[in-house]
Amino acid sequence: MADLDELRSRWLRTLRSARADAGQADARQADGGEHGAGRPEAGRYADALLRRWAEPQRRYHTVEHLAAVLDRVDVLEEYADDPVAVRLAAWFHDAVYLPDRSENEERSARLAERALPEAGVDAARTAEVARLVRLTVTHDPADDDPDGQVLCDADLAILAAPPSAYAAYTAAVRQEYHFVPDDAFREGRSAILRQLLGLPRLFRTPYGTREWEAAARANLRAECEKLSS
């Protein structure tokens, strides 16, 4: 179970860094204490995001997934140009999530575009966060996009989980799509898996390529075989 207090603290540290980089006079107040320059108290944003990640329709895209992605960003931080933007993007990348909708990433990016300026994040970094969130539609960052590579690798790291954890992940995904008939789910899920397996590389950072690529491909192939049987 994710530690909500620790997640809240991680958000506040990230926002404090973003405000400091933006030269905000109230950066020192991003610890959840006083309001800064008439701005809403920083902890409110963490609480609002955590409520979204805890919505009842979620089974995989939960606070546990958020914590896992943030942990992976920590592992991959050295490869990012702007780790603060990547961490903010991790918070927002599935902030809007309705399994029966196809525009979740776009709506999540728009949420970031509204919330981050209000929270004291400058326009350039807000735009970068929104771009990164939208990139999770394809998980196909360019070779010259280190921030995109870090976020996408962190988001896809579950694919390299040990078999038991991978099975729990696939079961949770199926629960999120409980309204889809079995045949249609197998067909759609198989198409996604084939698309992933067809990529030259699932992971783009050196760490991801070295540590996760082989295990992820083995899991994807095994799931494909199970779905086709």
Mean of the per-residue pLDDT values of the chain: 92
Helix, strand, coil tally for the chain in percent (to 5): 70, 0, 30
Taking Cα atoms as reference points, which of 229, 214, 93 lies closest to residue 148?
A: 93
118 contacts: CB under 8 Å, gap ≥ 6 = 39, 40
Regions in the chain scoring below 50 on pLDDT: 25-38
pLDDT for residue 29: 46
The pLDDT tens digits of the residues spanning 74-129 come to 999 999 999 999 999 999 999 999 999 999 999 999 999 999 999 999 999 999 99
**Which CATH number does 4-228 carry?**
1.10.3210
- Looking at residue 50, its amino acid is L
**Quick one: CA torsion of 74, 77, 80, 85, rounded to 10 degrees?**
40
pLDDT for residue 202: 97
Domain locations in the chain?
4-228
Looking up tokens 């397996």 gives: 197
CA pair distance 210, 187, nearest whole angstrom: 31
> Which residues on neighbouring strands pair with residue 36, listed in sequence order?
39
pLDDT for residue 41: 79
Is 14 exposed, middle or buried, given 0-12, 13-18 or 19+ CB atoms closer than 10 A? buried
Full-model pTM = 0.91
Give the phi and the psi of residue 39 in degrees, each rounded to 5.
-85, 145
**Cβ-contact 43, 8 below 8 angstroms:** yes
pLDDT for residue 1: 78
55 contacts: CB under 8 Å, gap ≥ 6 = 97
Taking Cα atoms as reference points, which of 75, 70, 72 lies closest to residue 94?
A: 70
* DSSP sequence for 153-203: HHHHGGGGS-HHHHHHHHHHHHHHTTTS-HHHHHHHHHHHHHHHHTSS-S-
CA pair distance 80, 211, nearest whole angstrom: 17
pLDDT for residue 35: 41
